[in-house]
Chain A
Amino acid sequence: MKVAIITFPGSNCDKDIGTVIEESYNANVSYIWHKDSISSGLDLVVIPGGFSYGDYLRCGAMAKFSPAMESVVSFAKKGGKVLGICNGFQILTEAGLLPGALVNNIGLKYICKDQDLIITKNDSKGFWKNYNQTIDSVSFPIAHGEGRYHADPETIKELESEGRIVLKYKNNPNGSIADIAGISSANGKVVGMMPHPERAMNPYTGLFDGKIFFDYFLAN
């Protein structure tokens, strides 16, 4: 498996996700600086968490104009698999690869804690259609100030009816509409989420549920 991880000035989870994919899934990982474009023949592109370009103006707003992101958009439009975590999710919405937007948490506080999440298998057509495990809730850390998912009611209805809500919050921490923590594109190939599955991949840090997501996402 060939994986590219995009690194912007201000990214800070690039090595976390890179190490997980490299060591636990034996992938060939390359780090792509924002001024460069991704190469061909990739199986996955990851947009990591952090504060790209200082998160000035809006989180993720500036990143979409980088050469790296322009090449990721064309990769995704050709059916490529893209995962955006935290700031990566914000960038994917700003770049138009996922609908909606992330705005400041309803309590106006930066929240950093372990968060229980529901695997939303409400539709056989949706993201989890091939998921055959009995586990339907996981716990991943969240760490964000702007994680409140917003989209218009039609978009929410579409995401729900097409089974594109990947994860929902239990005890919604940030005021996201419909408790949304993560969504996928219509073809299921582009996934964005605010929680950090890559920080739940080592028993030493207390959580290991990231494996449930990565095992499924990387294989499907």
Chain B
Amino acid sequence: MYLAKINITLKESVLDPQGQTVLRTLQGMSEQTVQDVRVGKYVEMKLQADSTESAQEIATRICDKLLVNSVIESYHLEIAKL
């Protein structure tokens, strides 16, 4: 069994008003070190696969097909063995 951990964020070119709102709040809290905030989503999937490579391939296919819209989003995928 494998665990796919997927972090999805809006692309740099797409304005993220949620991130901007959080950034303004942080600045209001005097957290002056914070330069930028992007708010995204996190998906975990448990997969039955023969190998890490195979789990990676399945998870990538699912990301490209459903979980991520490449017009507006980018993602980072990590596979862990359970």
The residues of A with any CB-CB pair to B shorter than 8 Å are 57-58, 61-62, 65, 93-94, 99-101, 103-108, 150-152, 175
Contacts and interface: CB of A to CB of B under 8 A. Distances in A.
A61 B18 contact: no
Ranked nearest first, the 8 interchain pairs of A and B with the lowest CB-CB distance are: A101-B71, A101-B72, A106-B17, A108-B17, A150-B14, A101-B69, A150-B72, A103-B72
B71 A107 contact: no
Contacts of A65: 66
B11 to A, nearest CB: 9
A175 B23 CA distance: 19
Contacts of B71: 93, 99-101, 150-152
B10 A103 contact: yes
Given A57-B67, A94-B69, A108 B18 contact: yes
A62 B72 CA distance: 16
Interface of A (DSSP majority class): loop
Contacts, number: 34
A103 B66 contact: no
B49 interface: no
A51 B13 CA distance: 27
B66 A57 contact: yes
Given A108-B21, A150-B72, A103 B67 contact: no
B58 interface: no
A107 B17 contact: yes
- Among B10, B18, B67, B71, the most chain A Cβ lie within 10 Å of the Cβ of B71
15 contacts: A58-B69, A61-B66, A61-B69, A100-B71, A101-B71, A101-B72, A103-B14, A104-B18, A105-B17, A108-B17, A108-B21, A150-B71, A152-B71, A175-B15, A175-B17
